[in-house]
Structure 1
Amino acid sequence: MVDEEVSEVAHLPIREVARRTGVRAVTLRAWERRYGLLSPARTSKGHRLYSEVEVRRIEKVLTYLARGVAIGQVRELVERGQGNRLCAEINEENGSSWWAMLDETCSLLEDFAEPQLRMRLDQWIAAFPSPLLIEYWLKPLQEKLGRASLSESGVALQFFWQLLNEQLLLANGIARRNLRKNKKTFSHKLCLLGLSGGEQQVFVQMFSAVLLAKGIDTVVFSGQAGSVGLEDLVTELEIDGVLFYSHRALSKHFIHHDLTKLASGLKTRLWLTGDFVDIQYAELAGLRKLVAVSVLSGTTEKAIAQLQGQLG
C-alpha cells in the first residue's frame, strides 16, 4: 500500500519520463492532448509532472501499440484493464493499425499526394515512439516498397525517402535542442554512422530519434566509415563513442576492410547495430574479437538496452 501511495505522487518532469520510457516529450504531449491517454499534474509555472502510476500507464500504451492497436483505441484498453481480450477483438474487427499505416503510406505515395503524406508523416512521428516505428512500420514499409510497382519508379521512391528524411531531421533537431537545454538529462554523446543514400539515411535518422529520446545526444555523420579525420571529429566534439547502423546486409569488403579500418583508427568504442548484425553474425566474428568493438542486437529496443548498460 505504501508503494502505491508513493507511486501516485507526481514528481517526475517530462524529460525524465521521456528518458526512462524512450517516448519523446512531443509524443507524450500528443498522447495527452489528442488522445487523453495521460493526465500529468502541473507546477505553478505549468510544467508537467508525472507519477510512477503514469509511467506504468505509458508502458501499457507501448504494449498495445506494439500489438497493432490503433492509438485512438488504446485509451479504452487501458481504462478497462482487459487488454488481451479487447486487443484481440479490436484487431479482428479493424486489422492491425501498423498494416493500415503501411497501406495508407503506399496509397499516398502512389498518388504523389505530397501535402497529405507530409501531414501524416508528421502525425505518426509525433504520435508513435521511434523504436515501434522502426520495427513495425519502417522496416516492413521498406520491404513492401521494394516489392511493389513503385519499385519501377525511382523518382517516387526518391521523393518519399527525401520527404521522410526532412521530417525526421526537423523532429530530431527540435529534440536535440530540448535535450541540450538541460544537461541533467544529457548523459552521453555518440557519433552515428550509416551508409549513404536516401533510404539508408532515413533509418539512421530514425535510430537517432531513438537515442535522443533516451537522453543520448547524437552527431550524425554522413561520410564513409573509414573517412580520414573522423577521429579528430570525435575528439573535437567530445564524443563518447561511434555507433554504426545499417538495416541492410553489408558487403564482405565493407565488413572486413571499412569497419575494421574504422575500429583500428578510433580511440573510442565502436558499436555495431541494425539488422545486418543478425544477418551477418558469422562474418562479424573478427570484429567481435576486437576489444574496442561491441556488436549489439539487431533489434532496436534490445540494442538500446545493451548500449545503455555499456555506457553506464
Structure 2
Amino acid sequence: MYTIKRVAELTGIGLSTLRAWERRYGVVSPARSEGSYRLYSDADVRALAIMASLVHDGWTASEAAAETLARTAGDARSAYVGSGPSDEVEAPAGLEELLAAAQGLDGPTVSALLARSLGRGDFADVASQWLMPILAGVGDAWADGRLSAAGEHLVSYAVQRQLAGLYEAAIRSTTGPVVVFGLPSGARHELGLLAFSVAARQAGITTAYLGADLPSHDWEVAVSGLQAGGAVLSVPRPADVVSAQEVIDQLGRSESGVVVAIGGRHQDDVTGALRLGHDLATGVALLRDGLVRGRGGKPGH
C-alpha cells in the first residue's frame, strides 16, 4: 500500500489533483488507515498513471476518467479503435508475439506480423475480427503495464503504415459518387476510420481520404470541390461528439445532397447521419445502400 505522498512521487500527479480526481471522478477509492490516511493499492497507482497519461495526451479530465474506468474494469474497447460494445472474448491469435516484439521495440518484426495477418482472407473480415481486437489487446497491455508507451506507439504507427499501403494498393474506382473520409476537428485517432476506408475502397466505392482533425468548413469545401455523394466521419472519443455533430449539421444545411455516415465508438451520440455500426463489412454494405438511396444511382462495383 502507498501513501498519497508516495503515489504523487510515483505518478507525478500533484496532491490536490489526486484528491480532486478521487472526489470528482471516482477513478480510485483508496483504503484508509486507522488514522484516516489514504492508502493506495498497486491497482490504484496503475489507474492514476493511465489517467495522467491520457490527460497529458490532450484528453479532458472527465473523458480520461471515463476511459480509465473502462480500461481498469476490463473493458477491451479502445478509444482510438472506435469499436463498439462487446463481450469479453479470447485473446486474438498472435497477440503475445506482437506484444513481445513491441516491448522489444522490434519494428521490423511488428510490421512483418501485421502484414502476414492482414494478408489472410478478406480484409474487412480480418480487420473486424483480428485487427481491432489486436489493437484493443495492445491498449490493455499498455494499461496493465505489460507494454511501454513506446511499444504501444510503435504498434499504432506500424498499423497506420500497413493500412495506408493497403489503401493505396486497392484498385481505385472511377465510377459512382465520391465519398470523402475524415475525422472532425480535434479528432486524431484515425486507425478505425482508415481501416474502414480501405474496406470501402476494396469494395469498389470511390474514396477520398482526408485524414484527421478536419474543420467543419473544410468538410463543406471538400464535399463541394469533389462533388461528393457521401461523407464518412468517425467519433472515437466523447470529446469528438460536438465537432462531429457540427460537421453533420453543416453538411445537412448545404444543398449538396451528400449522404453523411458516421462510425466509431461514440457514433450513437450524434444525430442526423447514417450509423455504420462496428463491423466493417456491414458498414460498407450500409454505406453503399445509403448512397444508392441518397443519390438514386449505383456506387462503383
The answer on 1:119 being equivalent to 2:112 is yes
RMSD: 3.1
1:298 maps to what in 2? 278
Amino acid corresponding to residue 245 of structure 1 in structure 2: S
Distance 1:275 1:264, change over 3 A: same
2:160 maps to what in 1? 165
Alpha-carbon distance, 1:165 to partner? 0.8
Alpha-carbon distance, 1:270 to partner? 0.9
Separation (CA, whole Å) in 2 of partners of 1:230 and 1:209: 20
Amino acid corresponding to residue 155 of structure 1 in structure 2: A
The answer on 1:155 being equivalent to 2:126 is no
Note the 1:28-43 alignment, pairs <5 A.
Answer: none
Separation (CA, whole Å) in 2 of partners of 1:146 and 1:260: 33
1:86 maps to what in 2? none
CA contact (8 A) 2:190 2:212 kept: no
2:261 maps to what in 1? 271
Separation (CA, whole Å) in 1 of partners of 2:163 and 2:185: 16
**2:129 aligns to what SS in structure 1?**
helix
2:99 maps to what in 1? 106
1:146 maps to what in 2? 139
Identity %: 17
Amino acid corresponding to residue 154 of structure 2 in structure 1: F
Alpha-carbon distance, 1:256 to partner? 4.6
Amino acid corresponding to residue 261 of structure 2 in structure 1: W
**2:213 aligns to what SS in structure 1?**
coil
CA contact (8 A) 1:250 1:276 kept: no
1:65 maps to what in 2? none
Separation (CA, whole Å) in 1 of partners of 2:201 and 2:156: 21
Separation (CA, whole Å) in 1 of partners of 2:255 and 2:138: 37
Note the 1:20-59 alignment, pairs <5 A.
Answer: none
- Counting helix residues as a fraction of each chain, which structure ranks higher? 1
**2:216 aligns to what SS in structure 1?**
coil
1:33-63 alpha-carbon deviations (Å, 9 max, x no partner): xxxxxxxxxxxxxxxxxxxxxxxxxxxxxxx
Separation (CA, whole Å) in 2 of partners of 1:209 and 1:296: 15
Note the 1:230-249 alignment, pairs <5 A.
Answer: 230-249=219-238
Alpha-carbon distance, 1:114 to partner? 1.4
Alpha-carbon distance, 1:258 to partner? 5.1
Separation (CA, whole Å) in 1 of partners of 2:218 and 2:254: 10
CA contact (8 A) 1:130 1:207 kept: no
CA contact (8 A) 2:182 2:193 kept: yes
**2:105 aligns to what SS in structure 1?**
coil
Separation (CA, whole Å) in 2 of partners of 1:136 and 1:117: 19
Ranked by relative contact order (alpha carbons within 8 Å, sequence separation 6 or more), the top structure is 2
CA contact (8 A) 2:216 2:247 kept: no
Amino acid corresponding to residue 151 of structure 2 in structure 1: A
Separation (CA, whole Å) in 2 of partners of 1:197 and 1:224: 5
CA contact (8 A) 2:104 2:151 kept: no
CA contact (8 A) 2:185 2:214 kept: no
CA contact (8 A) 1:226 1:259 kept: no
- TM-score, structure 1 length as denominator? 0.55
User: Aligned to 2:177, which of 177, 185, 188?
Assistant: 188
Distance 1:151 1:196, change over 3 A: farther
Separation (CA, whole Å) in 1 of partners of 2:276 and 2:155: 29
Alpha-carbon distance, 1:173 to partner? 0.7
Note the 1:51-130 alignment, pairs <5 A.
Answer: 99-130=92-123
CA contact (8 A) 1:211 1:218 kept: yes
Amino acid corresponding to residue 160 of structure 1 in structure 2: V
CA contact (8 A) 1:276 1:298 kept: no
The answer on 1:227 being equivalent to 2:207 is no
Alpha-carbon distance, 1:216 to partner? 0.7
Unaligned runs of 5+ in 2: 1-89, 293-301
Separation (CA, whole Å) in 2 of partners of 1:115 and 1:296: 34
**1:297 aligns to what SS in structure 2?**
coil
Matched residues, number: 201
